[in-house]
Amino acid sequence: DMKVTQMPRYLIKRMGENVLLECGQDMSHETMYWYRQDPGLGLQLIYISYDVDSNSEGDIPKGYRVSRKKREHFSLILDSAKTNQTSVYFCASSLSINTGQLYFGEGSKLTVL
Amino acid sequence: AQSVTQPDARVTVSEGASLQLRCKYSYSGTPYLFWYVQYPRQGLQLLLKYYSGDPVVQGVNGFEAEFIKSNSSFHLRKASVHWSDSAVYFCAVSEGNYKYVFGAGTRLKVIA
């Protein structure tokens, strides 16, 4: 079954706390992404991972870091969360860097109080 | 830099009516073009994609889109909408590498 799974789906944190969002895919896709979605702004790319331990900043990486130790797993970490990081975060994967079509998870809604 | 404009933030149509959702992009070459749909509390799902060839591409659930290079457009169409088509639709463009640029989305509401 081709699936991208995100955990947790909903998360409430206080400003300054650390946040870990996890993403897994069962398709052995090389490339994985983290986006955030805000009303009226579409999706903004935070980080991209080309494969294990091969990560690159996207358009809005400030305040985030990522980890990819296994091909099927990609984590987004917020060290000391800020209220402006309240958003819906989507993980996605694609077969390779040059292959179209992204496969998305169902999203993780993060609220930072 | 690439950009994608979806000029209509919200569209309301009656069930059974035809639909067009507009998308215009800015890119100097020939892009890879996509339409994705997002149902409530779900991730984005691919509706259709254009890489090359026939400028009219067919997608799932009766959707189609036409690539018009001279107009830098990739509008989404459906002949007869159903209430279950209510969702948010995103147009996206890629250079054929990792980088995708998404429009802000159009929220479609289908009414009885």
Residue A93, pLDDT > 90, answer yes
Backbone angles phi and psi of A46, in degrees to 5:
-95, -55
CATH number given to A4-112: 2.60.40.10
User: Is A96 or B38 the better-scoring residue by pLDDT?
Assistant: B38
Q: Tell me, yes or no, if B90 comes closer than 8 A to chain A by beta carbon.
A: yes
- DSSP secondary structure string for all residues of A37-77: EETTTEEEEEEEEEETTEEEE-S--TT-EEEEEETTEEEEE
**Mean pLDDT within B14-29:** 93
Number of structural domains found in chain B:
1
**pLDDT digit string, tens, across residues A39-83:** 888 899 999 999 999 999 999 999 999 999 999 999 999 999 999
B54-84 core/surface letters (b: 16 or more CB in 10 A; e: else): eeebebeeebbbbbeeeeebbbbebeebeee
Listed by start position, the domains of chain A span: 4-112
Verify whether the Cβ–Cβ distance A104 to B99 is below 8 Å: no
A107 contacts on B by Cβ (under 8 Å): 41-43
Interface mutation vs chain A, best among B98, B101, B107, most A CBs within 10 Å = B98
Residue B42, pLDDT > 70, answer yes
pLDDT band, residue A97 (cuts 50/70/90): low
Top-ranked range on mean pLDDT: pick from A85-94, A96-105, B25-34: A85-94
Q: Are A27 and A39 in contact (CB under 8 A)?
A: no
User: Is B40 or B17 the better-scoring residue by pLDDT?
Assistant: B17
Beta-carbon contacts of A76 under 8 Å, excluding residues fewer than 6 positions away, are A20, A21, A22, A23, A34, A46, A47, A64, A65, A66, A89, A91
| Mean pLDDT of the residues in chain B | 92
pLDDT band, residue B79 (cuts 50/70/90): very high
Residue A113, pLDDT > 70, answer yes
State the distance between the two ends of chain A, measured CA to CA, in whole angstroms: 37
Percent of chain A with pLDDT over 70: 96
